Structure 1
Amino acid sequence: MHHLLRTFVLLMLAGLLAACASTTSSTSPDAATDATTNAGDPAPSAEPQDKDLPKASLDADTLYNLLLGEIASRRGQIDLAATLLGKVAQDTRDPRVAERAALAGLYARRFSEALESARLWVELRPKSVEARMTLGAILLELERAAEARAHFDAILKLAPSDQLDHAYMRTVSVLARHAKRNAALEIMESLTQQHPRSPVAQFALSHLAVRSGELDKGLSAINRALALKSDWEEAALFKARILVSQKDLVRAEKFYESFLASHPDSVTMRINYARHLIDLKHWDQARAQFERVVRSSPADPEAVYALGLLSMQTGRNADAEKYLRQAVEMRPDNHTARLYLGQLAENSKRYEEAGQWYQSVSHGDSYLESQARYAVMLAKQGKIDQARAHLHKVPAEGEKQRVQLLLAEEQILRDAKRHAEAFELLTAALGRMPQNNELRYARALTAEKLGHLKVAETDLKDVLKRDPKHAHALNALGYTLADRTNRYAEAKDYLDRALALRPDDPFILDSMGWLMFRLGKNDEAVRYLRQALTKRSDAEIAAHLGEVLWVTGRRDEAKEIWNKALRETPDNDALLDVIKKFKP
């Protein structure tokens, strides 16, 4: 049988040998080239491929091993391919086979075999950057850093002056993959000394230092790069990233401002600065930056869209509509912009227009939310049955979407004060999806409204059993116990846990303030409640703070807080109830 297979293989070789030996397979060994070059890199300059190829004829065993090695490669048996092609490379001294054997060995992590093939490849192609890059990578894996450095040195010396930058970046891509990061960083530091005036060399060193966790070294290197090339936007962006990684947000902001003052036309830098300001929740400053971007690039749909969102965030609704409309005109498939335009129209009570925007979202990630909002909007107009019927017609795929539609229907019933129906809806849904935390949390809130405190407590504890860090459930349970029972110690335990998870959450701060009031600790209550109202202007928080101030004798201040809240939300039940209680 073996004899027949061997005969068959030899008959095939006549037609396949040239292709096998001179082409590159599309299978796994060539992925090994990722270890030595980037996909987008231009091809390295090649040495002459034919004049020094071996002239000796190939015997049957060599041909057999060559073909089996190629077949193994194509079948993903890379370790076998590395062994067979390595043997052929040594027998034939063909640099093409040595290349394939070295890359196969590197990919298969058979570094000792790969080393022999790579050394042969370098011996036969001493000026090949690709060969030396591969050999350097293998030596690094074998922890022979000094030998690896010699080959990376040679690569830089071989590179023509117009390809030096490319050589540095390719070298750092290899070093970055090495597990021994300190050794790789030492090599890169020595390589940059060959060309101390090269900004790209310093840029490459900075990248490797950051990847190795050496942020200070990375910052020093990128500073040197910018000193050599002050208008280099990519280097400036990387410096800003380092400063943010160091949590030095003040320096990062100052650097952005300084660079943009010197290079006001740097659009990419300005966009990144705006995003940095968004991360800091400096909405007005971020909006100002995007305004400048839009003035310089009015046809940029992403910048126009971002400006629309920031205008909406900062309460500039007229500007938000203008920019979001432009964003839709530029990119009609921007369904999220359509959703926001619907919200803006709805908030202005332009319900017909809002409905048109919501209904124009026919698919995509915003589809379900748009349909849910359309239904809630119908309910606001008193069309509750129509709203629920609309939700029932919306197709849902999977539990997540079904829950989203159920919660929208529950909100419609809750806003209409039809709490008993909302409770029945959620109870029926939990019969089908008993483990769903969103539904159980929603039912707990509805149960509390109906005075079913045992159900509310049981549901919230059930949520916390599955998700002990559910901050909203911790807050709801703590507040319910503080407001509706005298189990204050338990309430404080839940609220302490909630605050530990979300120390700046205004609703949790409000709950803690209300608990302090119930405990008679009025000064602490005012402190928590003021902090909550500062973070979010909310009618119920204002109702609580006003009540505490009223009972402690600061009635003018209480009236001022209530009146401001009334102007913003004149129909809030909690606010109206507390005002009626103290100002009948």
Structure 2
Amino acid sequence: MRYFSRRFPLTIVLLGALAACVSVPQAEEPVAQAAAGPEAFPKVEESLPRAALDADTLYDVLLGEIAGQRGEIGVASQALSRAARRTRDPRLAERATLAALYAKQYEDALAAAQLWVELKPASADARESLASIYLETGRPAEARREFEQILASEQARANLEQAYMRIAAVLGRASSRGASVQTMQVLVESHPEVAAAHFALAHLAVRNGDLDVAGTAVDRALELRPQWEEAALFKARILVSQKNAAKAQTFYEDYLRRYPSATNVRVHYARHLIDQKQWEKARDEFKRVAEEAPEDADAVYAVGLLALQTNRLDEAERFLERTVELRPQNDQARIYLGQVVEQSKRYGEAARWYGEVSAGESFFEAQTRLAIVTAKQGDLGKARQHLRAINAENDQQRVQLVLAEEQMLRDAKRYDEALTVLNGALERMPEDKDLLYARALIAEKLDKLPLVESDLRTILQKDPQNVNALNALGYTLADRTDRYSEAQEYLARALELKPDDPFVLDSMGWLQYRTGNNVEAIRYLKRAIAIRNDAEIAAHLGEVLWVAGDRSEARSVWTRALRETPESEALRDVIKKFMP
């Protein structure tokens, strides 16, 4: 019986010290100087004021600092505002503004921000703060005027694109979502030829939950700059957010057809395909990235993992070895390499890969696998001794050691001993779902069907959406009993939770076969084997095809599967059954 493949496996911070608050003349700030172009703003003296450090000023500055550190932001705001008005120091005006904003004292914040802008009219930060206060106090037209001043200044500096993104960020924090989007739309109309303006609007609209406006805006950005990869990726994310994965895939494919060198888009497309469980297509895309950038360790690793997922063991081995060359510290790649050669029964090589894993987060798994391959090499006693020498740091690792020992005994067909090991572990950890599931597998081998059913139902009582348990119970009822309606109920629930799980599809196909519905059985089983080329799925599909009268295709399915997994007992048994 195979149910699934189990793998081992503002508090505000006031700036500066007192000496920085009171004044000595300083040089003009280079950023402010660059920002204030002659056409954007009137020329304003940006030098800091000379202000006497009198007792009242000193008191207010100290009060503001101490109150801010103690979290009394309202007191800090009022004290710093008094000091700012007295000294006309823009730094104090800035602190007073931020403190009042944090305290949501918008009238105080407005007065402080207006002073800040008066003292530093070329400061984008000052105008952004003032605009945000206008938005919070229901004055969007005045906020828009401040943003327009920022755009004019940044346009003079050839920095318009970044200005739009900053404005979108400010608007995104506003309480009134509708007003913020409308303000941004008006600002974009002043520079309709700037792709970044539309892109910024798309970002703001997504933040405010208006995906339709976002989609229209990003489409316009791509019309103006068709090769803009960042905009293309954002467009795809919008489509996914609209739950239109198929349309997102079509968009990716069209974009890459027009711009095949857009590597970043290709990588995201490959990840999208993984999300859709389209392993083969994802592998093809990552493989292309790896061919174009052979030193890209992430792409090479992705190809190796996807090749392993699709049971292309030779390719998986090649790319995983290349991963280790490019990134020697990737111990997880060594574990996967061990699994690849282990599947090919090259147990000595598997032991070498597991043995190369250094101390760290992968070490426990590697040592556990090393014990398993030692057992597969025929020395079960040494393997169990090695397993018991591994230090388990928590219950999860203790469970993994038990499951590893159970697997060794199961592989050796010592099912009674495996059951004893699991029974002992369950006495110590009776609630563990993995141990209950493993015992159900062993109990099925020993024809203890009541125990199989009891353990699986216990799992489902604790976790009603446990797909593995639903699938296992449904398959058992379909295969070993005539309680087909119950099997249908469990498998339908499993399929609802994981509609593309190949093992659940296989179980549903087998149930259809057992109830005489061969057409539906073949449909489910073909879907399953297209997702995962598994020997037991091939055994089931071949049997149904043979019984349905398509013996030629049945032989073809069995032959292909036998070529790839000649050691599969399920496959050999079914072939012997129909072709003795």
What range is the shorter-chain TM-score in? 0.7 to 0.9
After TM superposition, give the deviation of residue 185 of structure 1 in Å: 1.0
Q: Which amino acid letter does the alignment assign opposite residue 169 of structure 1?
A: M
Counterpart-to-counterpart distance in 2, 1:95 and 1:560: 82
Q: Which has the higher contact order (CA 8 A, sep 6+)?
A: 2
If the length of structure 2 is used for normalisation, what is the TM-score? 0.84
Q: Conserved in 1, the CA contact under 8 Å of 2:195 and 2:225?
A: yes
Q: Conserved in 1, the CA contact under 8 Å of 2:32 and 2:123?
A: no
After TM superposition, give the deviation of residue 467 of structure 1 in Å: 0.8
Q: Secondary structure at the match of 2:158?
A: helix
2:73 counterpart (69, 74, 78): 78
Aligned to 1:30: none
1:152-202 residue CA offsets vs partner (Å, 9 max, x unmatched): 122112332422222212111111222432211111111112222222212
Counterpart-to-counterpart distance in 2, 1:379 and 1:544: 30
Q: Establish whether residue 148 from structure 1 lines up as the match of residue 143 from structure 2.
A: yes
Aligned to 2:102: 107
Give the gaps of 5 or more residues in structure 2: 1-15, 25-30, 37-43
Q: Establish whether residue 400 from structure 1 lines up as the match of residue 401 from structure 2.
A: no
Q: Establish whether residue 375 from structure 1 lines up as the match of residue 371 from structure 2.
A: yes
Q: Which amino acid letter does the alignment assign opposite residue 96 of structure 2?
A: A
Q: Conserved in 1, the CA contact under 8 Å of 2:35 and 2:157?
A: no
Q: Establish whether residue 157 from structure 1 lines up as the match of residue 138 from structure 2.
A: no
> What does residue range 382-393 of structure 1 map to in structure 2 within 5 Å?
382-393=378-389
Q: Which amino acid letter does the alignment assign opposite residue 18 of structure 1?
A: A
1:232 counterpart (208, 228, 251): 228
Q: Conserved in 1, the CA contact under 8 Å of 2:508 and 2:521?
A: yes
Q: Secondary structure at the match of 1:473?
A: helix
Q: Conserved in 2, the CA contact under 8 Å of 1:54 and 1:93?
A: no
Counterpart-to-counterpart distance in 1, 2:551 and 2:349: 44
Q: Secondary structure at the match of 2:128?
A: helix
Identity %: 55
Q: Which moved more, 1:181-190 or 1:504-513?
A: 504-513
Q: Secondary structure at the match of 1:162?
A: coil
1:98-127 residue CA offsets vs partner (Å, 9 max, x unmatched): 210111222333334322322222233333
Q: 1:556 to 1:21 in 2, by over 3 A?
A: same
Counterpart-to-counterpart distance in 2, 1:94 and 1:458: 77
Please provide the CA RMSD for this pair: 3.3
Q: 1:199 to 1:147 in 2, by over 3 A?
A: same
1:327-385 residue CA offsets vs partner (Å, 9 max, x unmatched): 22222101122222223333333332221111111134433332232222222222222
After TM superposition, give the deviation of residue 495 of structure 1 in Å: 2.2
Q: 1:296 to 1:560 in 2, by over 3 A?
A: closer
Give the gaps of 5 or more residues in structure 1: 1-14, 24-41
Q: 1:224 to 1:494 in 2, by over 3 A?
A: closer
> What does residue range 371-520 of structure 1 map to in structure 2 within 5 Å?
371-520=367-516
Counterpart-to-counterpart distance in 2, 1:549 and 1:258: 38
Q: 1:282 to 1:521 in 2, by over 3 A?
A: closer
Counterpart-to-counterpart distance in 2, 1:316 and 1:480: 30
1:66 counterpart (61, 65, 82): 61
Q: Conserved in 2, the CA contact under 8 Å of 1:20 and 1:67?
A: no
Q: Conserved in 1, the CA contact under 8 Å of 2:21 and 2:91?
A: no
After TM superposition, give the deviation of residue 50 of structure 1 in Å: 6.6
> What does residue range 92-131 of structure 1 map to in structure 2 within 5 Å?
92-131=87-126
Q: 1:166 to 1:462 in 2, by over 3 A?
A: same
After TM superposition, give the deviation of residue 206 of structure 1 in Å: 1.9
Counterpart-to-counterpart distance in 1, 2:281 and 2:72: 57
> What does residue range 202-213 of structure 1 map to in structure 2 within 5 Å?
202-213=198-209
After TM superposition, give the deviation of residue 504 of structure 1 in Å: 2.8
Q: Which amino acid letter does the alignment assign opposite residue 131 of structure 1?
A: A
1:467-495 residue CA offsets vs partner (Å, 9 max, x unmatched): 11001111222222333344433333222
Counterpart-to-counterpart distance in 1, 2:33 and 2:500: 55
Q: Establish whether residue 168 from structure 1 lines up as the match of residue 164 from structure 2.
A: yes
Q: Conserved in 2, the CA contact under 8 Å of 1:132 and 1:151?
A: yes
Counterpart-to-counterpart distance in 2, 1:530 and 1:255: 28
After TM superposition, give the deviation of residue 292 of structure 1 in Å: 4.2
Q: Which amino acid letter does the alignment assign opposite residue 102 of structure 2?
A: Y
After TM superposition, give the deviation of residue 243 of structure 1 in Å: 3.8
Counterpart-to-counterpart distance in 2, 1:409 and 1:43: 70
Count of aligned pairs between the two proteins: 551
Counterpart-to-counterpart distance in 2, 1:187 and 1:449: 69
2:348 counterpart (346, 352, 372): 352
Aligned to 1:18: 19
Q: 1:509 to 1:327 in 2, by over 3 A?
A: closer
Q: 1:333 to 1:560 in 2, by over 3 A?
A: closer
Q: Which amino acid letter does the alignment assign opposite residue 17 of structure 1?
A: L
